[in-house]
Chain A
Amino acid sequence: MSSTSTAAELLGRYVAALARKDIDDVVALFADDIMLETPCMPEPAPRRMVGRAQIAPLFQSTFSKVFKVFSWDAIEVHASDDPQLAFAVGKCNVELSDGRNYRNDVAIHVRVRDGRIVMLCEFFDTTRAARAFEGQG
């Protein structure tokens, strides 16, 4: 991975790795001190986490235990004038481990430094997520 990779390049790799459920590749994009912000996360789940060591298990658990199938119905990655900032918007389509389907609209933006993601922020519709994950523990 190049230390000069732009935010748009890294965000493109991030959404592609999610679609492959390749969480090792996802986590490899993260800086040690990455901050994950999820302002729409249904309470009582935390809306901010810091550190790859804290965040990696969340992705591994979600994609191995909760999401049976994950895909993007649509995803657009957008660069900006600032090579350290990029946005993506799209629609995810998930088959949950209990067989139910979960779809949501998602907006992601990242900040990068030295070829790694240092801030990852994901917005989605809280009410759809809360309905989908009721009883998922």
Chain B
Amino acid sequence: MHPSTANSAAVNLRLGREFFAGMGNVDRDKATFRRMCSPDFVWENSGLPSVQGHEAACAMVDAWAAQIDFASIDIEMLNLVADGDTVLCERVDTMYDSRRQVLFTLPIVGRLKIAGGKIVAYRDYFDPTEVQRKFAF
């Protein structure tokens, strides 16, 4: 690996770690999107509509809160690696409602693309079956 690429990967790894550490509840998730993602970033989730931009991403988080009472999330990070401008992770996300009842527990592989110190693309791969069922897609 070229030294500058390795350096970039180290910086991006820290960004990825900070991004997922910034998640926790509806307000924190939205603040983290605004702080760490580019204004036109793309957020894609398996089996769900893709959104682009801070406002659309925050609106999706608000929609989860309104439709399925999503309130908070715990992230168990199993692996987090960086390769150039790409950060990849293997994790288990547990989402809770406002009474701290589990909505979903999802094994996930996530990918971040980073440019200029901001996340420009965020993609999660997971089994969306239970999520779609809750949202009645």
Contacts and interface: CB of A to CB of B under 8 A. Distances in A.
B107 interface: yes
Contacts of B117: none
Interface in A88-103: 89
Interface string B2-42: 00000000000000000000000000000000000000000
A134 interface: no
Contact of A107 (B81, B82, B109, B129): B109
A109 to B, nearest CB: 6
A125 interface: yes
B88 A40 contact: no
B89 to A, nearest CB: 9
Given A80-B83, A127-B132, A39 B127 contact: yes
A78 B126 contact: no
B127 A78 contact: no
Given A39-B107, A125-B47, A78 B129 contact: no
Contacts of A82: 79, 81
Nearest to A37: B107
Interface residues of A, number: 23
Interface residues of B, number: 22
Contacts of B86: 76, 78
Nearest to B109: A107
Contacts of B125: 40, 89, 105-107, 123-125
B101 interface: no
Contacts of B129: 42, 126-127
26 contacts: A39-B107, A39-B127, A40-B46, A76-B86, A78-B83, A78-B86, A78-B88, A79-B1, A79-B83, A80-B81, A80-B88, A85-B81, A87-B81, A87-B88, A89-B111, A89-B123, A107-B109, A109-B90, A121-B109, A123-B107, A123-B109, A123-B125, A123-B127, A125-B46, A126-B127, A128-B47
